[in-house]
Amino acid sequence: MMDKTSTLSSEKFISKNYRDLERFYSPDPLKGIVIYGATDTPDKTGEKKLGQVITENISATYAGYIYCINPKRAEKEDAMILGKKVYANAKKLPTVPDLAVVVTPAKTIPAVIQECADAGIKAAIVFAAGFQEGGKEGLALAEQVLEIAEKGGVRICGPNCFGMFGENFNGTFSLGILAGGGYVGWLSQSGGVVCDPLDTIGKVSRVASLGSMLDISWDEVIRLFGEHKPTKAILLYIESLGNNVDDFIKAAREVGRRKLLVSLKAGRTEAASKAAASHTGASASNHKVYLETCREAGIVVAEDLTDADNFLEFAKQPLPKGNRLLILTNGGGPVVLATEQLELYGGKLAALSPTTLDTLNQHMPATWSHGNPVDIIGDASAERYRIAIKAVLAETGCDGVLLTYVPVAMSNPTEIAQIIIEEGAKYPDKPIVVSFTGSESVKEAKRLFREAGLAVYDKPDTAARIFAKLAARQKGLEEDDKPCRESYICHECPRYGKACNETKAAANKLLHEVYESGRDTLTEHEAKKVLQAFCMPVGDTVIAQTAFQAAAAADKIGYPVVLKINSTTMTHKSDAGGVELNIQNFNDAIAAYVRIRDAVPPEHFEGVNVQKMVKTKGVEVVIGSTVDPSGAKVVLFGEGGTLMEYRQDTDIEILPITQVGARNLIRRTKISKILVEGWRNVYKACDTATLTKLEDILVAFGDFVETHPEVKEVDINPLIISNDGIIALDARIILHKKGHARESKTL
């Protein structure tokens, strides 16, 4: 299914560079901005029109030339709008503007973009709605606009957007002149989400309200904001990732090594998904896939706007390089809660060095905590705070410091705040966060902290939780960047070399024939044959068309055996009575064949598969893959067997998958604990060789899925794992309908 927020055209007419988007924020003042639909006339009710608001905001903030296009007003000689000359079209302009701001109805946009292309205007902000979110007619209109823009070399922000805001001009329809000079860059598919922070002084550096994202993609703006020095953190409000998930992950990881990326995702519930679709035409993707995409990209996912604000507050400080936090306080209770939050989210208390302990023992009262958290007791004076602050900031065995204070009559919070600011300035590379609880008595202290660029939290438990989550994010980025063991796609494969290539070629031919026939479901025998060629540990299977053939095959394989229905239309065999287990002799095989044949409608029955029944007691897992509506291909791993859907113990990894990714995917499931440690006398712990082989299988499986875009779904369930070996007992492959998939690398 087409993702409505993605690029609609399959053909690219121009080469796109994300740095070209800089003209949306810094249009050349000598070339200027042209506003289509500019006006200074209110509507019939006296309310300002959109074109009027946009024209006023740009006029009030932009220092370069501003041209107004309004054909009706241009009919009058020397017509002016807000002191700007009015023109009938771009051909009449004295220069070629650097940016077009288009405030005209949707039906006019194709002609306007064509005019921009003809005039040499390279960028346009399109506010009009009625495109991807407007059904078939809207999609057709969007396709038309995109084709014109790509042929003419015009980059488009929008449509259905709130506009762009930067340090050089306000190209939005916000209320009044926006407060700039901040440190957070906002990328959003919703204009409403950015209205609040735009009204907050000192918070926002740039805004990209991308709307339905006809042209501009997430990765382009992430990279652009990544090079913008005032922007220390990037917040993304996402309704759909689009179909370039790989580029999104690469861009986020590149920028995330330098700056904090935080995401808000809409569409977790059915109602939210519907609202997002009606808003931007977004195609809702699986939320679990989205979370995994963000994890791999190094993006912190915020639960809500308040949670996002808490993460962004930390971005004023250097990001933590580890998870060891040192806490200083004059009140023990609140930091007990902070310690709990720290440990719940993967952080830990830093151990105090002998030097720090000696200093504190010499100068603190005997009743101080003698450890971390460093509790210097409620009657702590400003001077006691100064000594303790110096000591904890000098501690080299920590990755961050949380300085807290509860209001008491024995000390002045403003004086203590000044000490923290003074001493903290000596450690520019160490994350320092503060939490002064209270309201009126600490108001001035918090103001000073914010002016000094410290991260300020009302509650210490919030500060500790945010530190721990960001430390985990940094650790994840570092682990994923480590070089991994070579990926042995043909590890221990008996067909390695020429024979292996021939086997893979035969499997690809089979896939091609099924795909070209229009059939979308492979039989179990076909699926196993294909997966075996791509290094999956699949047992041999024989197809029998009669009861006698089934019994003869069972005799040859050796009892006990399993009989399963062979069908090109039925995938869930057990539910339909299509599986017979533990068959012990010739007569049982004949009877089992008859039971399967009689249990399913004739049109679904195409014989049976006969295979050896595995006696090995091993852990049952599932390996699977599917394509998310966003276009991302994922590998799934977790507990398999008949209880898979009930227990829901699975996790996913976005392709491509490496040994590191495979290892982490396994570890994120509960079943991994049984694989590693065993369970009672039922399952033995897997040795290192078995676990390594499982990683290899996941990598090989991912390689197969990634190189075969005609494959829609694959699953191996169950895959039996034990130290005696790993073997797939069942397999299923479903293809896209003919014409849907791109050409694969092998077909």
The string of pLDDT tens digits covering residues 654-672 is 888 888 889 989 999 999 9
Q: In whole angstroms, how far apart are CA 569 and each of 259, 441, 522, 540, 606? A: 50, 72, 8, 22, 10
What are the C-alpha distances in Å from 710 to residues 526, 632, 705, 742?
15, 14, 9, 7
Sheet hosting strand 608-612, strand order edge to edge? 541-544, 608-612, 561-565, 579-583
Distance CA 127, CA 36 (A): 11
pLDDT of residue 649: 87
Compute φ and ψ for 623, nearest 5 degrees: -120, 130
So what's the pLDDT on residue 740?
61
Residue 455, beta-bridge partner list: 433
479, amino acid identity: E
- How many Cβ atoms from other residues are within 10 Å of residue 519's Cβ? 16
Identify which has the larger pLDDT, 276 or 355. 355
Q: Is the pLDDT of residue 276 over 60?
A: no
**Residue 438: what pLDDT?**
87
**Confidence grade of residue 329 (pLDDT, cut at 50, 70, 90):** very high
3 state DSSP class of 179: coil
Q: What gap in Å lies between CA 427 and CA 292, rounded to an integer?
A: 35
Token representation of residue 522: 């492979």
Give the DSSP per-residue string, 453-477. T-EE-SSHHHHHHHHHHHHHHHHHH
Handedness of CA 242, 246, 250, 252 (dihedral sign): positive
Say if residues 93 and 119 touch (Cβ distance below 8 Å): yes
What three-state secondary structure class fits 402? Answer: strand
Stated pTM of the model = 0.79
411 pLDDT above the threshold of 70: yes
Pick the range with the lowest mean pLDDT from 110-114, 427-431, 488-492, 734-738. 488-492
Q: Decide if 633 contacts 705 (C-beta within 8 A).
A: yes
% of the chain residues with pLDDT over 70:
87
Q: Could you tell me which residues are beta bridge partners of residue 13?
A: none
Residue 401, pLDDT > 90, answer yes
Averaged pLDDT, 319-336: 92
The DSSP code sequence of 184-246 is EEEEES-HHHHHHHHTSTTTEEEEEE-TT-SS--HHHHHHHHHT-TT--EEEEEES---S-HH
Q: Which amino acid is at 177?
A: I
**Phi, psi of 172, rounded to the nearest 5 degrees:** -125, 175
pLDDT tens sequence across 39-89: 998 888 889 999 999 999 999 889 999 999 999 998 888 889 999 999 999
Instruction: Residue 557: name the closest of 540, 572, 544 by CA.
Output: 540
d(CA 729, CA 717): 7
Does pLDDT of 4 surpass 70?
Answer: no
**Residues 245-256 as b or e (16 or more Cβ within 10 Å = b):** bbbbbbbbbebb
Q: Say if CB 660 and CB 484 are below 8 A apart.
A: yes
Domains and CATH numbers, the chain: 18-313 (3.40.50.261), 318-481 (3.40.50.261), 498-612 (3.30.1490.20), 619-735 (3.30.470.20)
Distance CA 80, CA 74 (A): 8
Site of tokens 């600490």: 442
Does 747 score more than 50 pLDDT? Answer: no
Q: Say yes or no to pLDDT of 742 above 80.
A: no
126-176 per-position pLDDT tens digit: 999 988 877 889 999 999 999 999 999 999 999 999 899 888 888 888 875
Cβ within 8 Å of residue 377, ≥6 positions away: 330, 364, 365, 367, 368
Q: How far apart are CA 657 and CA 634, in angstroms?
A: 9
Residue 371 has pLDDT above 80, yes or no: yes
| Cβ partners under 8 Å of residue 637, min gap 6 | 621, 622, 623, 624, 650, 651, 652, 653, 665, 666, 669, 698
Residue 566 is given by DSSP the state -
Q: What string of DSSP letters covers 465-528?
A: HHHHHHHHHHHHHHHHHS------TTTT-TTTTHHHHHHHHHHHHHHHHHHHHT--B--HHHHH
